[in-house]
């Protein structure tokens, strides 16, 4: 391993002054209104508003300022004083704007007026809301409903999501892909199959009891910084944290609480990870196989010597299926293979396994490092295997805990945004609204892309997000996109997906969650579900960015009303006038999870909607929790070959998905640019490259298709040999559309096969 001093790597701890500086910088740049501080003070508090950034839970006993650097950035980004007005669009053609960077597009500020794309002038022109709704309705009425796609990014509220899914089904399709299809879809498919529940089983209280936490491919310092507080508390009371990640992420190394004055004035930060293992990209299956092998060996030894078990044998017997097969597989797998495939030394894996063995209660946290892999399902199956060995699912202080991304992405699935009809109570919906909902499986994200390419998709509505920037195979997709009859984007800020248009195209600006939403019955609240399945209310108080904005429920209802014939049980206007009525509808459709919904909206810490696996009720095919024998040695989607690298597409600390706040990846020490190729210094030398040399990457997926990205400065960085790092979304043109998790079709953005082109 190269000497750390040779590589770009941040030396301070996560949090601390740097994070306060990060907030202050963006405050000064973006806002000139005191309302912003008020809004920040209300962030993530019961009766306040729920952060638009990540999906980490909102505690019952919040801090004075219950937000992190990135949550504050996201709020300030919404409350910016900048405006993207009709005057701006009059000055720039859409073709010209396509040449702008993501950062510069969003820097134009909040969208203020509904806009129609005018192909003759190649410009967006302002229009009236009703005109937009009528035109969109006319287009949708003219096509087969099965050729329309309603995408959602995971930010919209439960109320909006429920109406949107209902609209899709009344219109006649289940084509409801969402950002989750590119994110934790692997979770939804694998956990459902293996433990009978598609979401994580831990809650915040478990963090007060656990003895160990294992992190696989999740980066809390950047992506869920408020999680660092419970982690710090865990470490202080002696729990051990073990991390598997090819990148040494600062937040998992050390943390200084920016909300503690004492910590801020002393040099000492809490060391977070007791053990940090730089597994090779795609190497987790082997690493976990090694841990299981060691746990089984320890079981044998302990039983022989002391007649005690390491395994939870009662649990295995009563609650699981398939243990013997996994045991046989682990015993048959050699340490040579495990070391080769994981890139880790046997002694290190054994040390990690010893932490697991010695912990009575363990939580496993994971993220995109496991889900965005061709063999992502097997990654999760191995993690479930590992957790089941010691009964670490469905017991206090334990659990398998995916850290979800967008603030309501999990909740959208809960209330019907799903292309899979069997995940939705269609019979209840049929009775509730008096119609026959479509029963055929709809399109997920990858399917949508395939059918845009084949010409079968005719219309696309985007409820937030930046679809064309977030998906793989960008160039081919953008070229095909202009064949669509209709594209509609409901958004707060301008992004690239708004600049590649169908024949009829509308850009519809909406309120953000931070803003006051006044309807006929008065000010409205909305709700979301966090990563621990807790549901929280949120009230925006800030003055809307423009008086022409509509709320998301109002926009969805406006399009639906213009598209569908009237029905006695479908009351778009009444529902929009009073969101309590939408919550009543949700309660009727999902009585177990959402009973007394309106009364419980502001429960401190949210109300828990329950999880069968947490109760050790396994809603799986066998009725048991399922062990799985992996059928692949690693998660890489193609064979290794000379000159073929595994590219990790990364998020910086200064972005939220495709929204780029700035060019400071403070926690990795990369400043002023995103056009970098991170490489192990020994690899740089072996490849005959030099630090700072500008190179390109080409797809090397073996399908003969030419995909390239250029202009990347070679930057030494402590990655495992054979791995490269560069930023998402800039690298997305390199990912083939077919390169996705086998089971869930989640694009495999974490081990992309590439070649370096000088």
Ligand X SMILES: Nc1nc2c(c(=O)[nH]1)N[C@H]1C(S)=C(S)[C@@H](COP(=O)(O)OP(=O)(O)OC[C@H]3O[C@@H](n4cnc5c(=O)[nH]c(N)nc54)[C@H](O)[C@@H]3O)O[C@H]1N2
Return residues touching ligand X (CB under 6 A): 53-54, 70, 106, 153, 155-156, 179, 182-183, 216-219, 222-224, 244-247, 249, 279, 281-282, 284, 367-369, 372, 403, 405-406, 463-467, 470, 490-493, 495, 510, 512-513, 552, 648-649, 651, 655-659, 728-729, 731-732, 735, 749-751
Tell me which residue has its CB nearest to ligand X: 367
3-state secondary structure 478-537: HHHHCCCCEEEEEECECCHHHHCCCCEEEEEEECCCCECCEECCEECCEEEECCCCEEEE
Residue 491 binds what, of ligand X, Mo ion, none (CB under 5 to 8 Å, by partner type)? ligand X
Q: Closest separation between CB of residue 656 and ligand X, Å?
A: 4
Q: Dihedrals φ, ψ of 496, to 5°?
A: -60, -35
Looking at 36, 97, 170, 183, which residue binds Mo ion (CB under 5 A)?
183
Residue span 206-245 as binding mask against Mo ion, x where in contact by CB under 5 A, dash where not: ----------------------------------------
**Side-chain-side CA neighbours of residue 706 (13 Å):** 2
Q: Which is nearer to ligand X, 277 or 316 (CB)?
A: 277
| 160, 528 contact by CB (below 8 A) | no
Q: Which is nearer to ligand X, 221 or 438 (CB)?
A: 221
**Residue 359: helix, strand or coil by DSSP?**
coil
Q: Closest separation between CB of residue 244 and ligand X, Å?
A: 4
Q: Taking phi first (over 0 means left), then psi (-120 to 50 degrees means alpha), and beta for anything else, what does residue 289 get?
A: alpha
Q: Closest separation between CB of residue 582 and ligand X, Å?
A: 17
Q: Which is nearer to Mo ion, 444 or 563 (CB)?
A: 444
Q: Closest separation between CB of residue 650 and ligand X, Å?
A: 6
Residue 539 binds what, of Mo ion, ligand X, none (CB under 5 to 8 Å, by partner type)? none
Q: Closest separation between CB of residue 331 and ligand X, Å?
A: 24
Looking at 405, 462, 662, 720, which residue binds Mo ion (CB under 5 A)?
405
Tell me how far apart the alpha carbons of residues 118 and 390 are, in angstroms, rounded to a whole number: 62
Q: Which is nearer to Mo ion, 445 or 715 (CB)?
A: 445
Q: Closest separation between CB of residue 659 and ligand X, Å?
A: 5
Q: Closest separation between CB of residue 645 and Mo ion, Å?
A: 24
Q: What are the DSSP calls for 421-486, one per residue?
A: GGGS-HHHHHHHHTS----S----HHHHHHHHHTT---EEEEESS-HHHHSSSHHHHHHHHTT-SE
Q: Which is nearer to ligand X, 243 or 320 (CB)?
A: 243
Residue 656 binds what, of Mo ion, ligand X, none (CB under 5 to 8 Å, by partner type)? ligand X
Q: Taking phi first (over 0 means left), then psi (-120 to 50 degrees means alpha), and beta for anything else, what does residue 126 get?
A: beta
Q: Which is nearer to ligand X, 167 or 590 (CB)?
A: 167
Residue 563 binds what, of Mo ion, ligand X, none (CB under 5 to 8 Å, by partner type)? none
Q: Closest separation between CB of residue 406 and Mo ion, Å?
A: 6
Q: Which residues are 352's β-sheet partners?
A: none
Q: Which is nearer to Mo ion, 107 or 408 (CB)?
A: 408
Q: Closest separation between CB of residue 179 and Mo ion, Å?
A: 6
Strands 254-256 and 240-244: unpaired
Strands 518-519 and 522-523: antiparallel
**Residue 250: helix, strand or coil by DSSP?**
helix
Residue 659 binds what, of Mo ion, ligand X, none (CB under 5 to 8 Å, by partner type)? ligand X
Q: Is 413 exposed, middle or buried (0-12, 13-18, 19+ CB in 10 A)?
A: buried
Q: Which is nearer to ligand X, 36 or 310 (CB)?
A: 36
Q: Which is nearer to Mo ion, 7 or 497 (CB)?
A: 497
Per-residue CA distances from 254 to 8, 19, 179, 522 (Å): 17, 13, 31, 46
Per-residue CA distances from 575 to 296, 525, 565, 572, 584 (Å): 57, 13, 17, 5, 10
Tell me which residue has its CB nearest to Mo ion: 405
If binding is defined by CB under 5 A, does position 576 make contact with Mo ion? no
Q: Taking phi first (over 0 means left), then psi (-120 to 50 degrees means alpha), and beta for anything else, what does residue 321 get?
A: beta
Q: Which is nearer to ligand X, 52 or 316 (CB)?
A: 52
Alpha helices (H) in 47-157, listed in sequence order: 69-78, 86-91, 94-97, 102-107, 129-142
Residue 311 binds what, of Mo ion, ligand X, none (CB under 5 to 8 Å, by partner type)? none
Q: Which of residues 409-468 bind Mo ion (CB under 5 A)?
A: none
Q: Closest separation between CB of residue 269 and Mo ion, Å?
A: 28
User: Which range, of 179-187, 515-523, 585-593, 732-740, touches Mo ion by CB under 5 A?
Assistant: 179-187
Q: Closest separation between CB of residue 511 and ligand X, Å?
A: 8
What is the Rg, in whole angstroms, of the alpha carbon atoms belonging to the chain?
25
Q: What are the DSSP calls for 70-92, one per residue?
A: HHHHHHHHHT-S-EE-HHHHHHS
The residues of the shown chain that bind Mo ion, judged by CB under 5 A, are 183, 405
């Amino acid at each position: 391993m190269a000497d750390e001093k040779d590589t770009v790597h941040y030396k301070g701890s996560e949090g601390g002054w740097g994070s306060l500086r990060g907030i202050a910088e963006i405050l000064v740049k973006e806002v000139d209104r005191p309302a912003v501080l008020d809004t920040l003070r209300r962030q993530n508090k019961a009766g306040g508003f729920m952060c638009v950034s990540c999906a980490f839970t909102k505690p019952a006993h919040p801090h004075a300022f219950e937000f992190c650097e990135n949550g504050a950035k996201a709020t300030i980004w919404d409350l910016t004083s900048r405006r993207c007005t009709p005057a701006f669009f009059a000055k720039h053609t859409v073709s010209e704007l396509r040449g702008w960077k993501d950062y510069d597009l969003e820097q134009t500020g909040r969208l203020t007026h509904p806009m129609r794309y005018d192909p003759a002038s190649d410009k967006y022109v302002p229009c009236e809301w009703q005109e937009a709704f009528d035109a969109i309705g006319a287009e949708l009425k003219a096509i087969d409903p099965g050729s329309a796609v309603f995408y959602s990014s995971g930010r919209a509220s439960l109320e909006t999501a429920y109406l949107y899914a209902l609209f899709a089904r009344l219109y006649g399709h289940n084509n409801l892909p969402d950002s989750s299809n590119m994110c934790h879809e692997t979770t939804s498919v694998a956990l459902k199959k293996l433990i009978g529940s598609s979401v994580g089983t831990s809650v915040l209280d478990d963090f007060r009891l656990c003895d160990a936490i294992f992190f696989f491919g999740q980066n809390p310092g950047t992506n869920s910084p408020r999680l660092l507080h419970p982690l710090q508390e865990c470490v202080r009371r002696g729990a051990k944290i073990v991390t598997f990640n090819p990148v040494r992420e600062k937040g998992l190394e050390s943390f200084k609480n920016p909300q503690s004055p004492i910590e801020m004035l002393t040099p000492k930060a809490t060391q977070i990870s007791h053990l940090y293992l730089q597994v090779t990209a795609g190497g987790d299956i082997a690493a976990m196989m090694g841990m299981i092998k060691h746990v089984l060996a320890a079981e044998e030894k302990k039983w022989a010597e002391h007649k005690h078990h390491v395994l939870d044998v009662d649990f295995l017997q009563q609650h699981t299926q398939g243990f013997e097969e996994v045991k046989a597989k682990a015993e048959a797998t050699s340490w040579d293979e495990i070391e080769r495939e994981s890139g880790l030394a046997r002694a290190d894996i054994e040390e990690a396994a010893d932490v697991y063995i010695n912990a009575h209660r363990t939580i496993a946290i994971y993220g995109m490092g496991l889900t965005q892999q061709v063999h992502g399902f097997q990654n999760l199956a191995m993690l479930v295997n590992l957790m089941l060995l010691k009964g670490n699912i469905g017991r206090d202080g334990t659990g398998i805990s995916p850290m979800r991304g967008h603030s309501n992405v999990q909740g959208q699935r809960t209330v019907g945004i799903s292309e899979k009809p069997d995940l939705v109570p269609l019979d209840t919906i049929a009775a509730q609204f008096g119609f026959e909902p479509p029963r055929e499986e709809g399109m997920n994200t990858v399917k949508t892309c395939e059918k845009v390419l084949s010409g079968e998709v005719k219309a696309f509505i985007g409820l937030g997000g930046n679809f064309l920037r977030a998906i793989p195979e960008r160039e081919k997709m953008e070229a095909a996109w202009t064949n669509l009859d209709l594209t509609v984007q409901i958004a707060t800020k301008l992004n690239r997906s708004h600049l590649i248009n169908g024949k009829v195209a509308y850009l519809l600006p909406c309120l953000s969650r931070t803003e006051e939403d006044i309807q006929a019955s008065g000010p409205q609240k909305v709700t979301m579900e966090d990563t621990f399945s807790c549901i929280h209310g949120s009230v925006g108080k800030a003055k809307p960015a423009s008086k022409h904005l509509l709320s998301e429920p109002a926009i969805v209802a406006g399009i639906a009303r213009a598209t569908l014939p009237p029905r006695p049980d479908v009351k778009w206007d009444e529902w929009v006038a009073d969101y309590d009525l939408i919550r009543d509808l949700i309660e009727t459709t999902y009585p177990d999870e959402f009973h007394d919904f309106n009364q419980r909206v502001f429960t401190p810490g949210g109300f828990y909607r329950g999880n069968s696996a947490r109760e050790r009720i396994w809603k799986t095919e066998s009725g048991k929790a399922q062990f799985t024998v992996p059928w692949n040695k690693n998660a890489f989607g193609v064979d290794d070959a000379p000159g073929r690298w595994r590219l990790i597409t990364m998020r910086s600390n200064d972005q939220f998905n495709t929204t780029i706040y700035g060019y400071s990846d403070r926690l990795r020490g990369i400043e002023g640019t995103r056009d970098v190729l991170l490489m192990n210094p020994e690899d740089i030398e072996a490849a005959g490259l030099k630090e700072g040399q500008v190179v390109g990457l080409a797809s090397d997926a073996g399908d003969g298709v030419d995909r390239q990205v250029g202009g990347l400065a070679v930057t030494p960085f402590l990655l495992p040999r054979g791995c490269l790092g560069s930023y998402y979304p800039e690298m997305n043109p390199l990912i083939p559309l077919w390169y996705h998790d086998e089971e869930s079709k989640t694009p495999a953005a974490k081990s992309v096969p590439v070649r370096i082109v000088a």
